[in-house]
Amino acid sequence: MRGRDRSVDIGEVNWASLRKLIPYLTEFRGRIALAVLCLIGAKVASVGLPFILKQIVDQLNESSAVVVVPVALLVAYGLVRFSNVLFGELRDTLFGRVTERAMRRIGHEVFKHLHSLDLAYHLNRRTGGVSRDIERGVTGISFLMRFMVFNIVPTFVEIGMIIALLLWNYSYWFAVVVFVSVVAYIGFSVIATEWRTETIRQMNKAESKSSTRSVDSLLNFETVKYFNNEEYEAGLYDGNLADWEAARRKNRLTLFGLNGGQSLIIASAATASMILAAVRVKNGEMTIGDFVLINALMMQIFVPLNFLGFVYREMKGSMANIDAMFALLSVEPAVTDPEPAKELVVGDGAIEFNRVSFAYHSERTILEDVSFSVKARQKVAVVGGSGSGKSTIMKLLFRFYDVTSGSIKIDGQEISQVTQRSLRRTISVVPQDTVLFNASIYDNIQYGDVSASDEEVWKAIRMAYLEDFIRQLPDGADTQVGERGLKLSGGEKQRVAIARAILKKPKIMVFDEATSSLDSRAEQRILQAMEGVRGDYTSLVIAHRLSTIVDSDLILVLDKGRIAEQGTHTDLLAQEGLYAAAWKLQNSESRAIRA
């Protein structure tokens, strides 16, 4: 198992989520009012149709000639039927805009919120599961707003009107039949739906599981191929699909039971009402038109009732999906701006770490009492073994995490007291593992500053020594890099990352082991690009290969989360400590490779 499934148990629905939808309706109050008027008009027309039909049938029954039927009744019947459809379509059209805007606003809000969350959340999330939560939640909003708000309540209003008309015009037994059938139908639907809850939960869980598995596998398809595990992945996915198939089959069988019970109640009520009407017609207490009217009213009730059953069956699932989406909005970021937050004002870009300690978990300290200063436009390197805390320094500077103790300052301003946007606007990062968007080289570089001009983009390309490579490509800068940039080599991706970082025009550049996985030739090109921007920015270089940082103004050697040594390359060699030992080891490895 690669992670816990995130599907929501629909038996545990937070109905308060329904109230959270109300603010999204207020943007179009006028449209909602018009939609309600159209709704009322449609219901009045719907209930009036059987009474017009009764008059037509009675008058036809009194005469053998069709021509004697009042033309006005026939025209009225046509107009009322058309009005029923027209008002319904107008209602859906008017409210459709409200629904679509609400879906857009909520989807946009969730998307923005996900990007506002801290790195720890995104390291633990399941991409497939989160995307399905958003998709289901938006679909659930559409269902609730379009059907529940404008169909469930109107259905009960219509039933109430019919019962009142039956009591007023006919025997109370007809009203009793309608009332009992409605209560029985609703009671059975609620009980049966609750019974089906576990089946629907299992189906949603299986669907989320298969979606998460497929996304996870496809995102890591290189690893799958490296280990020749295509059949293994297909088997795991098929296992998830088998669970989904079994859950769907069980859901279908329980749905058969639900629909069968509802149909029995409807058929029994219709039969009872028809028997009552037939007896009264035979006794001369009702006309043939009354018989037709009763039959039409029964259908008038049971059609929306049948729809009401569908609405209720789907409502709980929709509410669970909405609840899951709003649960994403309820996740609070661990890293937040203070109140009030100031804008970071950067002049030279000097960095100061003052007795910084940090731990991802309380039982494991990553950095302990780390202090150092980087003067403006200096190149400072951080080296050390795996797990020594090198990359953590970059993440703390970028404020992906807050320090456990101590402080980090840029130009004398503590970064925890300024807005994250102003802080991150100041810093560009060239990460060890450069991931590009599935777009063109040009678009990926321009991402550093989406408002940059064509001239500025090409200047960054030249500074990253990328122009010759781009000119050789058939499509030039419009060449598509593929998903995550897989069509480019490691060195080419790193130079794209450097160009993108340069275009941002930062005061501080961070190179996070930018050459650790490159060959010597690619490394030299990257070093050329890094050297080309030196002096324009304060540079913090997190390095594995010591040969790339020998010209640094200051080198910090981390060991077990502490600064064990610091100084220039020459100073550290003279100390004959950890740095000198690592230098000798890397040089001996290089000589062995050349030999």
- What are the beta bridge partners of residue 567? 555
With beta carbons less than 8 A apart as the criterion, state whether 170 and 286 touch: yes
Q: Torsion angle, CA of 283/287/292/298, rounded to 10 degrees?
A: -60
Residues sharing a CB contact under 8 Å with residue 184, sequence separation 6 or more, in sequence order: 265
Residue 288 has pLDDT above 70, yes or no: yes
Q: How confident is the model at residue 453 (pLDDT cuts 50, 70, 90)?
A: very high
Residue 10 has pLDDT above 60, yes or no: no
Max distance between CA atoms of the chain, in angstroms, equals 121
Distance separating alpha carbons of residues 332 and 117, to the nearest angstrom:
7
Residue 314 has pLDDT above 50, yes or no: yes
Distance separating alpha carbons of residues 502 and 493, to the nearest angstrom:
14
Residue 107 has pLDDT above 70, yes or no: yes
Angle of helix 230-282 relative to helix 288-330, nearest 10 degrees, comes to: 150
Model pLDDT for residues 272-286, shown as the tens digit of each residue: 888 888 888 888 787
Q: How confident is the model at residue 414 (pLDDT cuts 50, 70, 90)?
A: very high
Residue 384 has pLDDT above 70, yes or no: yes
- For all residues of the chain together, what is the average pLDDT? 79
Q: How confident is the model at residue 1 (pLDDT cuts 50, 70, 90)?
A: very low
Residue 142 has pLDDT above 80, yes or no: no
Higher-pLDDT residue of 470, 73: 470
pLDDT at 127: 56
Rounded average pLDDT over 195-206: 77
- Tell me which residue of 510, 518, 576 sits closest to 547, measured CA to CA: 518
Rounded average pLDDT over 377-383: 90
In the chain the domains, ranked by start, together with CATH numbers, are 16-330 (1.20.1560.10), 351-594 (3.40.50.300)
Q: How confident is the model at residue 521 (pLDDT cuts 50, 70, 90)?
A: low
pLDDT at 237: 87
Q: Hunting for tokens 């001009």 — which residue is that?
A: 453
* Minimum mean pLDDT range among 27-31, 147-151, 231-235, 537-541: 147-151
pLDDT at 564: 92
Higher-pLDDT residue of 118, 577: 577
Q: How confident is the model at residue 138 (pLDDT cuts 50, 70, 90)?
A: confident
Residue 143 has pLDDT above 50, yes or no: yes
Q: How confident is the model at residue 18 (pLDDT cuts 50, 70, 90)?
A: low
Q: How confident is the model at residue 371 (pLDDT cuts 50, 70, 90)?
A: very high
- 343 three-state secondary structure: coil
Rounded average pLDDT over 431-454: 87
Residue 195 has pLDDT above 80, yes or no: no
DSSP state for residue 577 in the 8-state scheme: S
* Minimum mean pLDDT range among 20-24, 208-212, 233-237, 403-407: 20-24
| Sheet of 351-361, strands arranged across | 364-374, 351-361, 405-410, 413-414
C-alpha to C-alpha distances, 259 to 24, 270, 318, nearest whole angstrom? 34, 16, 19
Model pLDDT for residues 475-503, shown as the tens digit of each residue: 889 988 877 667 788 778 888 888 888 88
* Minimum mean pLDDT range among 292-301, 416-425, 458-467: 292-301
Q: How confident is the model at residue 61 (pLDDT cuts 50, 70, 90)?
A: low
Rounded average pLDDT over 584-593: 68
Q: How confident is the model at residue 67 (pLDDT cuts 50, 70, 90)?
A: low
Residues sharing a CB contact under 8 Å with residue 354, sequence separation 6 or more, in sequence order: 371, 406, 407, 408, 409
| Sheet of 379-384, strands arranged across | 427-430, 508-512, 538-542, 379-384, 554-559, 562-567
pLDDT at 3: 35
The strand pair at 351-361 and 364-374 is best described as antiparallel
User: In this structure, what token pair is assigned to residue 453?
Assistant: 């001009």
Distance separating alpha carbons of residues 241 and 228, to the nearest angstrom:
22
Whole-number percent of the chain with pLDDT over 90: 13
Q: How confident is the model at residue 58 (pLDDT cuts 50, 70, 90)?
A: low
Rounded average pLDDT over 6-30: 61
- What predicted TM-score, i.e. pTM, was given to this entire model? 0.62
pLDDT at 82: 84
Higher-pLDDT residue of 266, 343: 343
Residue 21 has pLDDT above 50, yes or no: yes
